[in-house]
Structure formats: structure tokens, C-alpha cells
Amino acid sequence: MPVYTFEAQGTDGKTVKGNMEANTQQEAEAMLLARGDLAWLLSLKKQVELFEAEEKVTIPAHFSTGDMVTFCYQMSALFGAGLSVTSIFYTLRRSLVKKSLVALVDDLNQRIQQGKSFAEAFGSHPNLFSPFFVNMVKTGERSGNLDGVFQRLSLFYKKIHEIKRKIKAALAYPIFVIVIAFSVFFLATTLLLPKFDALYKTLNVKLPLQTQMLLDVSRFMTHYWFVIVGGLVILGVVFVVMLKNPDFVKILDKISLRLPVFGALLKLYNSALFTRSFGILVNAGILAFEALDMVAQVVSSHTFKEVILGTSDEVRKGSMFSAGLRKAQMLPPIAEQMIVTGEETGKLPELLDKAASYLEEELDYAVERMTAFLEPALILIVGGGVGFLVVSLYLPLFNLARVIK
């Protein structure tokens, strides 16, 4: 129902301002005049018109996980407070800072006012709301428990957000060290090494192999830097284009899962994501094969996606869900056994939740182990590289000093 903002003169001479819901402006005027405490109406504006008067802002192309957590939490709180649909979106848009999210809320409100369900309104933005999200909302509408559904979604995305934050924090230091190391190497080869090259040409000394190699690299980078930059740009463009090729993405995904340390981290992340999202859907009463199809859109790994969709096909044919997982060996043995036990005992939602918690804890430990491994490894590599650079540069001088003596 539309919201109207009014300003009126009270019978006591004071100005009265407020918001009210009415189907039409005429109905709003009649309701205000029927109150008895208003002398006359000064202004009456439809709230939607106020929204449309603002600068048009494009709806975002994607949702960050943090934004999704906030959005779901606020929706849960507003539904739990028993507000009407229009009041929920009006309150929500007032609390948002990003204009693009305000535009999204206005669009959702408009679609619902036109008679669409919540699930249909959210489903109109597939790049923002996954089939998993839309079907959870649909389940909430059917059961009349939208506040509970949004609360569960908020907790789900909060866990994902925390996992991503920990992984990013763990990778921040190694990436920083690598960037600094390459920067130092670039500056050394383009600024420092040419001076040593000129010095050794003046002294006319015989250079050791490692020194000669470094100076050759320096000459190439100094005279043909544009070739290196151009090559990197071309490689970057080719890589971005290749990412649109499904076959290339599948190959890249398989390679990523087999990488030492990082591959194990990816497997745990996708396993935790799978068990947590599948558990929420099963607990909401969605059929296993339908839930699997939805979860396939949630996981980030194409290898996991193929296994999940294959398992969904087997379930449609009458096979047990756990049999497909065992065959694919997608999950760690302990989590896999939890799910098998849950299906056999009829406690699948409960044990899926426990398996998800177990995998999330394992992921935390894996991130800590990766950090503990990478930090000393990078120190050794960078230290060794700097040592090699210094020794290679000064070794001819040491040899020259020994000859002079």
C-alpha cells in the first residue's frame, strides 16, 4: 500500500506532520479529514513520488557478502517487528547509505506493489539473488515465516563473510611481500645494476656466470621494458578473454584444487559452503534433488558444481544422496560419514549442520596452517633472493681485490 507524507494545521493551531498508508490520494485526504483533530490540510505527497524525484541511480551489478548480511538482517528485524510491506521498504531505504542499494529497494517495492510475490521480485535480479536465496524466500512466504528465513540467510551469509575475511587476511601478508619483492627486483635491475654494469666495463674484469646473467637481465629490462609491459598486458587480456571459455575455466579450476596448500583450502571452503547451504535448504523442506540444483549455483568451484549436479541426477533416479557423494569423494571422510549417518538415521538436516560446523573449523585451522607455512617460506625465498643479488653484484669486486693483492 502506498505511503503518503502529510502536513496539516491542527484544531489547536499547531502544525501536524506524519506518514500514513492509503490506496489513493483521495482516500488519504478523506482519512485525514475524518480524524477530527485537523483544521485543514496543508500538503499531501505520495512517498513514491518523493523517491522518483531523487536522482536516478543504477541498481548494483552485484552484492558484496557484507551487504547481503546487512540486508538479510534488516529484513528479518523489520518483518519480526510486524510492519507492513510498504513500511518495511520505506524504513529499509532510509537506513541504507549506498544509493545503488536504495535503487534496488525501490525496485523491489515497486514490483511487490504491482502484485508480484517476494520471491518473484527477488528473482527479477538473478545477478544479485541466487536461486538458493530466491527459493528460501519462497519457502518463507509459503510458511508465513519470512522473518525466520531472512534470519537464517543472514547467519548463512555472515559465516561466508567471516570465512572470506579470514582467507583474505591470511593472503594479505604474502601478497604484500611478493609485491614488495618484485618492486625491489625491478628497481634493482633498472637503476642499480646498470651502474655496476658500467663499472665492470670500465674495469674490464671477467664476470662470474651469475653476475653476467643478472647484468644481461638488467640490459634487457632497461632497453626493452616496453616489450615486457606489452607482453604482460597482452597476457592479461588473453587471460580475461579465456575466463569466458567454460572449458578453460574447468581446467583452471582443476589445477587450482591440486595446488599444494591453496588447493586444500579451496576444497574445504567449497565443502563447507556446500554442506551449510544444502543443510539450510533441506531443513526448509525442499526436496533433495531440487536443493542440490540450487546449491550447485552457490559453490565457487566448477568441479564441485559438476559433482553436485551429477549427484542430483542420481537422486532423481532413486539413488541415495550420500551414495553420490561417496562415489565422487568430494568431501573429507569425516564430513562424508556424518552425512551418510544422517541420511540412514533420518537426521540429515541436523548432521549436515554439524558437518558444516566441523568443516568451517577445519577451514579456520587450514588458514592458520597456511599462514604459518607461507610466512617463513617467503622470508627464506626473499632473503635468499636478496642474498643472491648482493653476492652476485659484489663478487667481481672481491675477486678483483684478491688479484690486486
Domain co-membership, 94 together with 218: no
Domain co-membership, 158 together with 214: yes
Domain co-membership, 45 together with 166: no
Regions of the chain short of the pLDDT cut 70 = 1-2, 9, 13, 21, 23, 36-44, 46-57, 401-405
What pLDDT sits at residue 368?
85
In a domain, 70, yes or no: yes
What pLDDT sits at residue 2?
65
In a domain, 59, yes or no: no
What are the φ and ψ backbone dihedral angles of 345, each rounded to 5 degrees? -100, 0
Number of domains in the chain: 3
What pLDDT sits at residue 52?
46
What pLDDT sits at residue 355?
92
Angle of helix 225-242 relative to helix 209-223, nearest 10 degrees, comes to 80
CATH of the domain at 324: 1.20.81.30
Q: Which domain range does residue 33 map to? A: 3-53
Of residues 109, 115, 111, the one with CA closest to residue 93: 109
What pLDDT sits at residue 271?
92
Q: What is the DSSP string of 221-284?
A: HHHSHHHHHHHHHHHHHHHHHHTT-HHHHHHHHHHHHHSTTHHHHHHHHHHHHHHHHHHHHHHT
What pLDDT sits at residue 53?
43
What pLDDT sits at residue 51?
44
User: What cell does 336 get?
Assistant: 562424508
What pLDDT sits at residue 50?
40
Domain co-membership, 99 together with 155: no
Placement of cell 518523493 in the chain: 50
In a domain, 12, yes or no: yes
Domain co-membership, 95 together with 240: no
Taking a C-beta distance cutoff of 8 angstroms, is the pair 84, 1 a contact? Answer: yes
Domain co-membership, 221 together with 266: yes
Domain co-membership, 83 together with 24: no
Q: What is the pTM of this model?
A: 0.71
In a domain, 114, yes or no: yes
Angle of helix 348-404 relative to helix 193-203, nearest 10 degrees, comes to 20
Domain co-membership, 257 together with 313: yes
Cα–Cα distances (Å) from 310 to 148, 270, 292, in that order, read 31, 16, 9
In a domain, 143, yes or no: no
Beta bridge partners of 38: 10
In a domain, 58, yes or no: no
In a domain, 88, yes or no: yes
Domain co-membership, 305 together with 203: yes
In a domain, 381, yes or no: yes
Domain co-membership, 28 together with 107: no
Of residues 335, 390, 383, 313, the one with CA closest to residue 321: 313
Domain co-membership, 199 together with 327: yes
User: What cell does 333 get?
Assistant: 571422510
What 8-state DSSP symbol labels residue 87? H
Q: Give the length of the chain.
A: 405
What pLDDT sits at residue 192?
86
Domain co-membership, 114 together with 19: no
